[in-house]
Amino acid sequence: MGMKIHGLGKLISLALILCLLIVPSCTRDKMTVTGAEYEFGKNKVNDTHYDWKEISGNRFRIIYPDTVRQRALDVAQIYDTHLESICKDLELHLDRDVPVFLYPSQNEYETTNVVTGLVRGSGGFTEFFKERVVFPVLSNDKRLERLALHEITHAVQLNYLLESRYRSLQIILTGVLSPLWFMEGVAQYESRFWDSMPAMYVRDAVMDHDLIPLNQLRGFSHLPPHQIRLAYDQSGLFIQFLVDTYGQESIARLLRLIKNRLNVRNALQEVTGKGIWTLERSWREYADQRLRVGGSGWQDPMAQTQLLTANKGWNFFPTYSPDGSRIAFLSDWENEAFDFSLYVMERSTGRLSRVMKRFVEVSPLSWSQNGTRLVFVSDKENRSDLYIYDLKRNKSERIKQELRVNSFPSFLPGDAEVGFVASVNGYADIYKINLNDGKLTPLTQTINDEAYPHWSADGKFLVYSREYQKQFDLVLKNLSSGEETRLTNTVYDEIWPIFLPEGKTILYVSDQSSIFNLHLLDLQSGSSHRLSQVIGGIFSPQVSPDGKRLLFTYFRHGQYTIFEGSMSSLEPGVENADRP
């Protein structure tokens, strides 16, 4: 999710970052699919078990394993649609084809030998010297488009910035003098990145008067790891500010001046007519006017809630034990730079135990019905594998099955099976596995991204989120008949659905107000209501077995924290207008 210089710098990214990217126009009849395994064999890419193929388009070449051919075609279509407009925005013309390497998954991408440096922790990169783009295919169409556009934008930038009779000198000058707020900000802007998630991060900084000063964004490596996401999104919004205030051409002018004048402050003053401090004030006023919220009715978070995690790190996916006495969750407790561990908290005393140290992926977890085991995802073997941790024996064991990219594990009623999401060849579906005989059963088989599965208490129904036209709607599946019912049909994201204990109502999260809030959906009437109006963002709600208490992750003040509240304190607001 950025530019990579051999042996220089450090790539830092969030596992939760929505990865982004872009490139020029070509029609499908101008593209050919040929074998690329000879040119990109072991002398170029050491993963020789891949059957490499190539799609050649207008100013791009996509090199991909044959197993992800359809996703490679999807990426080609993204470039067909958007690359020309990127070049137009930057007033540039690509003079060579951009090589784009695709990998089937994040873990396989991290083993790439396209460059010699480590890429672990990044969502994608554009290599500095040869302008090669490398990223994994994603099952989510919106995220895949953004990632593809973000990285190809870097290739377009570098194609121009490194063009010189003295290329070696120009590489040094570009690497040292081109500010990341501009390089990454333009890549964010061109990737159509702005939605409720970037808005949440930047709004939080606006509300706290904690936007990062522009002169501190020349590079990102000095920032605390938890601020990296803010740096990307704030830079993208700053570019949007320049476009809205000084016109689309301001980006292209700034790019030319940065290359030719080698003085960013002078370049900004020439484009905007303002000195850096005056411009900074104008930018902050723009962000404040666009994002600040508050006043009557706003919550931070809801009333009658209690903070459970007052630590320095980020905390995710709290879940009640079956008897409601313990809470399991993931955390990099002491701000350990996204090195997450699995914790269990005694609800009555607050006593905390770290039961699984590190190698825990940022994915939800689940208790067994007898309260003695936890199922979670670990990347200990460079795969996103399912593991079961036995709390009595203090031992973890991998669930043996062939799928490599797994998430959202959950014990099903009876504890004999585990449900989960797995991505295969760039498409995510919901599966279940029998823990006794290892039988694997797909529960969905579509090209749509599917996530956030939750089973009813009797195991007869499954509710989950499915991506339609780059946004998530809720789907209810009868597991006996296979019948599916689309519960929502909006332009927003409906995510994190859970059945309430009585089985007739679904609690979920939606960004219908441009902020992630709790909503309630009645399965009989189909009506839905918003339950909260927070300043930050609510995620991963869980209800206690008796239905009286609520756990959730809340983002605010630059941190993800865990709160607990009373279900009775949630008052339904105005009925949502959108229905299927």
How does pLDDT run across 109-160, given as a tens digit for each residue? 888 777 655 566 678 999 877 789 999 999 999 999 999 999 999 999 998 9
- At residue 563, the 3 state secondary structure works out as strand
**Model pLDDT, residue 172:** 59
Q: Which of 136, 157, 177 is the last residue of a domain?
A: 177
Q: What average pLDDT does the segment 484-509 reach?
A: 97
> Beta-carbon neighbour count of residue 435 at 10 Å?
17
Does residue 80 belong to any structural domain of this protein? yes
Q: What domain range includes position 337?
A: 307-358+539-567
Does residue 379 belong to any structural domain of this protein? no
* pLDDT of residue 376 exceeding 70: yes
Q: What is the 3-state secondary structure (H, E, C) of 26-72?
A: CCHHHCEEEECCCCCCCCCCCCCCCCEEEEEECCEEEEEEHHHHHHH
* pLDDT of residue 91 exceeding 80: yes
**Model pLDDT, residue 11:** 32
Which residue is associated with the tokens 């008052």? 571
pLDDT band at 162 (very low <50, low <70, confident <90, very high): confident
How does pLDDT run across 415-435, given as a tens digit for each residue? 999 999 999 999 999 999 999
Q: What average pLDDT does the segment 88-107 reach?
A: 94
Are residues 148 and 39 part of one domain?
Answer: yes
Q: Which of 155, 177, 199 is the last residue of a domain?
A: 177
Does residue 426 belong to any structural domain of this protein? no
The answer to whether the pTM exceeds 0.75 is yes
- At residue 139, the 3 state secondary structure works out as coil
Does residue 497 belong to any structural domain of this protein? no
Does residue 557 belong to any structural domain of this protein? yes
H helix or E strand, kind and range, residue 15: none
Are residues 187 and 260 part of one domain?
Answer: yes
CATH code of residue 123: 3.40.30
Are residues 29 and 84 part of one domain?
Answer: yes
Check if the beta carbon of residue 412 is closer than 8 Å to that of residue 418: yes
Top-confidence residue, 237 or 23: 237
How does pLDDT run across 339-374, given as a tens digit for each residue? 899 999 999 999 999 999 888 999 999 999 999 999
Q: Give me the residues paired with residue 326 across strands.
A: 346
Count of domains for the chain: 3
pLDDT band at 168 (very low <50, low <70, confident <90, very high): low
- Of 121-135, 247-261, 430-444, 464-478, least confident by mean pLDDT is 121-135
**Model pLDDT, residue 570:** 86
CA 278 from centroid of its chain's CA atoms:
34
H helix or E strand, kind and range, residue 192: none
Does residue 129 belong to any structural domain of this protein? yes
Q: Which of 177, 212, 246 is the last residue of a domain?
A: 177
Are residues 128 and 58 part of one domain?
Answer: yes
How does pLDDT run across 35-76, given as a tens digit for each residue? 232 233 333 344 448 899 999 999 999 999 999 999 999 999
Q: What average pLDDT does the segment 424-448 reach?
A: 97
Are residues 270 and 192 part of one domain?
Answer: yes
Does residue 211 belong to any structural domain of this protein? yes
Does residue 241 belong to any structural domain of this protein? yes
* pLDDT of residue 16 exceeding 90: no
> Beta-carbon neighbour count of residue 457 at 10 Å?
13
Are residues 335 and 283 part of one domain?
Answer: no
